[in-house]
């Protein structure tokens, strides 16, 4: 089903957005990276003899910036910086392990074949995002692969801005962008960047994490319908 803020009770009949370009979150949206991320967290914490949170809490750290996650566990200063570095060195060995969610790769290829401009906007480091998209055979599908920088100030919103700036430089129509994501971090980043966000039901969202999304698509098929409707609407609006 598809739920929108404007029509929360009518899952089927939704108010479609006008869409000129689609940004995709990666972890929890394209790939099921929770196991690799949680393992890297466990390794970084146990290296310093620190307590390891339970699985439920660790899962909430799949997607947010690392500085936030380790800070949320109560660490700061030099230890916080060391934990982030320790996480990155462990994750480096396993970031290509995660499998894509069923149907997502096919959807991305279909959108590309239909001429829809696409970009990633991920909180993982940009070189890893690039390597992962190559590994999944998706580097030709995306016009731009944008990811985080090592700077603690790098956020979902800064990555969205970078993706849109680079898309515009390539001549892409960025007048009606949307981001597709699975967590409250995608919702907050989109709000901060001033663009609509479509939540997906197969990722790692907490109970109410997608409450403020402009729409929520439970399945890949729902997302396909919603995006293609929005792209068609933009084409009609542009040509009228």
Axis crossing angle, helix 104-113 with helix 220-239, rounded to the nearest 10: 20
20 within 8 A of 117, measured Cβ to Cβ: yes
Whether residue 88 contacts residue 36, with contact meaning beta carbons closer than 8 Å, is answered with no
pLDDT at 194 over 90: yes
Weakest-pLDDT range from 9-13, 78-82, 116-120:
9-13
What pLDDT, on a 0 to 100 scale, did the predictor assign at position 84?
95
Cα separation values, 165 from 61, 97, 108, Å = 28, 30, 21
**pLDDT bucket at 13, cuts 50 / 70 / 90:** very low
Q: How far apart are CA 42 and CA 85, in angstroms?
A: 13
Q: What is the mean pLDDT of residues 110-138?
A: 96
Beta bridge partners of 100: 31
The more confidently predicted of residues 161 and 2 is 161
Percent of the chain, pLDDT > 90? 82
The answer to whether the CB of 195 falls within 8 A of the CB of 177 is yes
Of all residues in the chain, the percent with pLDDT exceeding 70 is 95
Catalytic (active-site) positions:
25, 27
d(C-alpha 95, C-alpha 124), whole Å? 10
Banded model confidence at residue 16, pLDDT cuts 50, 70, 90: confident
Task: Give the pLDDT score at 4.
Answer: 61
* Residue 123 pLDDT > 70: yes
The confidence band for 11, taking pLDDT boundaries of 50, 70 and 90, is very low
22-46 pLDDT, tens digit per residue, is: 999 999 999 999 999 999 999 999 9
Give the number of other Cβ atoms within 10 Å of residue 95's Cβ: 22
pLDDT the model gives residue 206:
78
């Amino acid at each position: 089903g598809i739920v929108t803020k404007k029509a929360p009770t009518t899952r089927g009949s939704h108010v479609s957005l006008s869409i000129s370009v689609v940004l995709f979150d990666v972890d929890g949206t394209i790939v099921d990276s929770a196991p690799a991320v949680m393992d890297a967290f466990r390794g970084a914490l146990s290296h310093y003899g620190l307590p390891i949170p339970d699985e439920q809490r660790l899962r909430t750290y799949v997607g947010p910036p690392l500085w936030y996650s380790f800070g949320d566990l109560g660490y700061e200063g030099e230890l916080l910086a060391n934990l982030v570095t320790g996480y990155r060195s462990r994750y480096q060995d396993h970031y290509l392990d995660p499998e894509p969610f069923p149907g997502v790769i096919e959807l991305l290829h279909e959108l590309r074949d239909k001429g829809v401009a696409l970009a990633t906007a991920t909180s993982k480091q940009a070189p890893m995002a690039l390597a992962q998209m190559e590994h999944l055979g998706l580097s030709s599908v995306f016009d731009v692969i944008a990811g985080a920088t090592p700077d603690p100030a790098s956020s979902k919103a800064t990555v969205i801005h970078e993706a849109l700036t680079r898309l515009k430089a390539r001549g892409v129509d960025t007048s009606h962008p949307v981001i597709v994501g699975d967590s409250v971090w995608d919702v907050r980043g989109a709000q901060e960047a001033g663009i609509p966000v479509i939540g997906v039901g197969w990722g790692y969202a907490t109970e109410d994490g997608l409450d403020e999304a402009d729409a929520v698509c439970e399945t890949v098929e729902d997302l396909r319908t919603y995006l293609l409707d929005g792209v068609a609407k933009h084409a009609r609006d542009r040509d009228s």
